[in-house]
């Protein structure tokens, strides 16, 4: 009888292991990273964190979001889906200005953000969201009256953004899509679903975007 050679996952190339890990959810990925140092390094590969869906993970707190941002999320993140605490027993806000600022700097390629049952009344304006967003979905969220009100950026910030955009376009050798708003937002698609606090003031603020 031929000898059978015992094989383990350690014999697989890392690209194959990453493909296998891509079928796991966020919770399973984090648990897998506790197996050994090699798996912890593989779990942090940014190819596994391009699209992160936390809507099925109930009870996500601001502390958990900070852990994810500091240890796992990075330049690979393109799409992020979050469920808030609006309908939970704990309630309250879980997105802070400091976390959103850190998200913008840590994940500069984030293009899509979907928020479900999130209390955003603690945020002064949507301008606190990452300016790289192209898709914004708000489902069952609570919004402050001034959420869509845009304040003009400072001359230094506006000049810096224009310089960065010009540099990126010349570097790529092609014309990029320039945001229509002077605030620097590049949002192309916005979904508002079952937002009870949405008023005419919000609608007027959104309409003013088209005139900029």
pLDDT band at 186 (very low <50, low <70, confident <90, very high): confident
**181 vs 32: CA distance, rounded Å:** 43
Angle between helices 62-71 and 97-106 (to 10 degrees): 20
Residue count of the chain, please give it: 212
Residue 139 CB contacts under 8 Å (≥ 6 apart), including other chains: 114, 115, 116, 117, 191, 193, 194, 195
Among 15-19, 111-115, 155-159, 176-180, the least confident range: 176-180
**172 vs 144: CA distance, rounded Å:** 39
Q: Which residue has the higher pLDDT, 177 or 83?
A: 83
> Is the pLDDT confidence value at 175 over 90?
no
> Is the pLDDT confidence value at 150 over 90?
no
pLDDT at site 207: 84
pLDDT at site 57: 80
pLDDT band at 183 (very low <50, low <70, confident <90, very high): low
Q: What's the mean pLDDT when you consider all of the chain?
A: 80
> Is the pLDDT confidence value at 212 over 70?
no
User: Angle at Cα 104 formed by Cα 180 and Cα 186, nearest 5°?
Assistant: 15
Among 3-7, 131-135, 149-153, 179-183, the least confident range: 179-183
CB atoms within 10 A of CB 130: 22
pLDDT at site 30: 92
What is the pTM for the complete model shown?
0.77
**56 vs 60: CA distance, rounded Å:** 10
> Is the pLDDT confidence value at 4 over 60?
no
> Is the pLDDT confidence value at 19 over 80?
yes
Please state, for a pLDDT cut of 70, what percent of the chain lies above it.
Answer: 74
> Is the pLDDT confidence value at 53 over 90?
yes
Among 72-81, 86-95, 123-132, 169-178, the least confident range: 169-178
Q: Are 182 and 161 in contact (CB under 8 A)?
A: no
State pLDDT tens for residues 85-123.
765 555 556 788 999 999 999 999 999 999 999 989 888
């Amino acid at each position: 009888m031929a000898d059978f050679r015992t094989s383990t996952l350690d014999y697989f190339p890392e690209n194959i292991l990453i493909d296998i890990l891509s079928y796991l959810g966020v919770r399973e990925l984090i648990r897998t990273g506790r197996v050994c140092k090699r798996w912890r390094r593989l779990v942090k590969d940014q190819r596994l964190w391009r699209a992160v869906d936390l809507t099925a993970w109930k009870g996500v707190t601001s502390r958990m979001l900070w852990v994810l941002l500091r240890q796992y999320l990075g330049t690979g993140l393109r799409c992020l889906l979050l469920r808030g605490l609006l309908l939970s027993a704990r309630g309250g806000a879980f997105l802070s200005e400091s976390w959103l600022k850190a998200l913008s700097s840590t994940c500069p390629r984030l293009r899509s953000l979907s928020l479900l049952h999130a209390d955003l009344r603690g945020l002064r304006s949507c301008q606190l969201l990452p300016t790289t967003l192209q898709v914004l979905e708000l489902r069952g969220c609570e919004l402050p009256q001034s959420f869509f009100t845009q304040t003009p950026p400072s001359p230094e910030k506006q000049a810096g953004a224009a310089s960065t955009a010009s540099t990126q376009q010349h570097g790529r050798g092609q014309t990029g899509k320039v945001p229509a708003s002077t605030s620097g937002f590049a949002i192309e698609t916005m979904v508002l679903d079952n937002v009870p606090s949405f008023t005419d003031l919000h609608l007027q603020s959104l309409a003013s975007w088209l005139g900029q």
